[in-house]
Amino acid sequence: MSAGETNPGPPAWVSEALQAPVSEAEVLHDGALVRYRSWGTPGLPGLVLIHGAMAHANWWDFIAPRFVERFHVLAPHLSGMGDSGHRDAYSTALFSDDVVAVMDHAGLGADTVVVGHSLGGTVALTLGVRHAGRVRGIVMLDSAVFPPDEPSPFDPTKAPYRPKTVCADYETAVGRFFLLPQQPCQHPYLLQHIAHHSVAPMQGGWSWKFDDALFKKLHLHEPWRELEALETPLAVIHGDHSAVFTPAVKDYIGRLARQRGWPMFAIPGAHHHLMLDSPRALCGALHGLLAGWPASPGQVA
């Protein structure tokens, strides 16, 4: 289903989440304005939610409010995406530094857990290595880390450059929104919310907010190196129907998880964009995980 199709209104839990108090702020980091959304009470342990490629912080609008009783929740727009500024070059290292700048600006301490989806998971992984000790743990959501002897078939930097399509009006732009990779989603009101926040007026009409040269400017490291070097506590959640979390990825990360004692589990029936097709199951999984993980200093895991 595309974002432009008509559908019944959202259920009560979605309406409540979208009406939850939220504030917005920005921090200038390395020449770009990095904007972020904030829910909950400052002073509580931090929970940072990082979106995937070509996405934005509003992907978490119906997830974040479900954690405010225990956490001060932040969702940054990574530079080059959403409402943040664009750069001449991007990298997972720079994205991870963007996130730390947001954490510092919001006053989050070392008791913070960082959750990243897809590309956001590799950003969280980079943060866990590059800023070891700055966070308490990281959670990767359906992030494909391929073994060193198998290059990723999903490398977006190798795709040909295509300038963004400029649509005549808002309705046309929103109607063109679709998930990549494409997958089923039985919650069209979530797609419409995300599509609404994915477009902006520009010269000639409406188009996507992300930098259309993002992948051309992006340097992707080899995340397996950081996965194997990681000392920060890690947990891995994936969709059991994901087109991205391939058998090779599952076997590779699973082997390391068994060696390191990392929690790793699948959400039944979920695809790659598991916060869209299985939002309540994802929230339940994260609540269950964060209830006892990672172990506090002096606590037996």
Name the band, by pLDDT with cuts 50, 70 and 90, for residue 222: confident
**Are the C-beta atoms of residues 267 and 242 closer than 8 Å to each other?**
no
Q: How confident is the model at residue 8 (pLDDT cuts 50, 70, 90)?
A: low
CB atoms within 10 A of CB 52: 25
For residue 150, the tally of other CB atoms under 10 A from its CB is 12
Task: Give the closest residue to 270 by CA, choosing from 279, 262, 261, 278.
Answer: 278
Which residue has better confidence, 127 or 220? 127
Q: What is the pLDDT of residues 81-137, one digit of tens each?
A: 999 999 999 999 999 999 999 999 999 999 999 999 999 999 999 999 999 999 999
pLDDT digits (tens, 9 = 90+) for 48-88: 999 999 999 999 999 999 999 999 999 999 999 999 999 99
Length of the chain: 301
Average pLDDT for 225-236: 97
pLDDT for res 298: 39
Residue 101's φ and ψ, nearest 5 degrees, are: -60, -40
DSSP string, the chain: --TTS--PPPPHHHHHHHTS--EEEEEEETTEEEEEEEES-BTBPEEEEE--TT--GGGGTTTGGGGTTT-EEEEE--TTSTTSPP-S-EEHHHHHHHHHHHHHHHT--TT-EEEEETHHHHHHHHHHHHTTTS-SEEEEES-----TTS--TT-GGGSPP-PPPPBSSHHHHHHT---SS----S-HHHHHHHHHTTEEEETTEEEESS-TTHHHHEE---HHHHHHH--S-EEEEEETT-SSS-HHHHHHHHHHHHHHT--EEEETT--SSHHHHSHHHHHHHHHHHHHH-SPPTT---
Average pLDDT score over residue span 169-195: 92
- At 244-286, the pLDDT tens digits run 999 999 999 999 999 999 999 999 999 999 999 999 999 999 9
pLDDT of residue 296: 59
More confident residue, 297 or 228: 228
**25 vs 301, which has greater pLDDT?**
25
Q: Inform me whether the pLDDT recorded for 6 exceeds 60.
A: no
Domains, the chain, ranges and CATH?
Answer: 12-292 (3.40.50.1820)
At 206 the pLDDT is 97
Evaluate whether 262 touches 128 at the Cβ level (below 8 Å). no
Among 11, 49, 21, smallest CA distance to 283 is for 49
Average pLDDT of span 188-209: 95
Q: What is the pTM of this model?
A: 0.93
Task: Read off the pLDDT of residues 41-50 as tens digits, 9 standing for 90 and up.
Answer: 999 999 999 9
Task: Annotate 27-65 with DSSP letters as a single string.
Answer: EEETTEEEEEEEES-BTBPEEEEE--TT--GGGGTTTGG
Q: What is the pLDDT of residue 223?
A: 93
Summarised one tens digit per residue, pLDDT across range 141-162 is 999 999 998 777 666 666 667 7
Q: How far is CA 289 from the centre of its chain?
A: 17
For residue 270, the model assigns a pLDDT of 96
Which pLDDT value is given to residue 149? Answer: 86
The residue among 166 and 186 whose pLDDT is bigger is 166
Residue 233, C-beta contacts closer than 8 angstroms, at least 6 positions apart: 136, 137, 138, 262, 293, 294, 295
How far, in Å, CA of 196 to CA of 174, rounded?
Answer: 6
Q: Is the pLDDT of residue 230 over 80?
A: yes
Confidence grade of residue 299 (pLDDT, cut at 50, 70, 90): very low
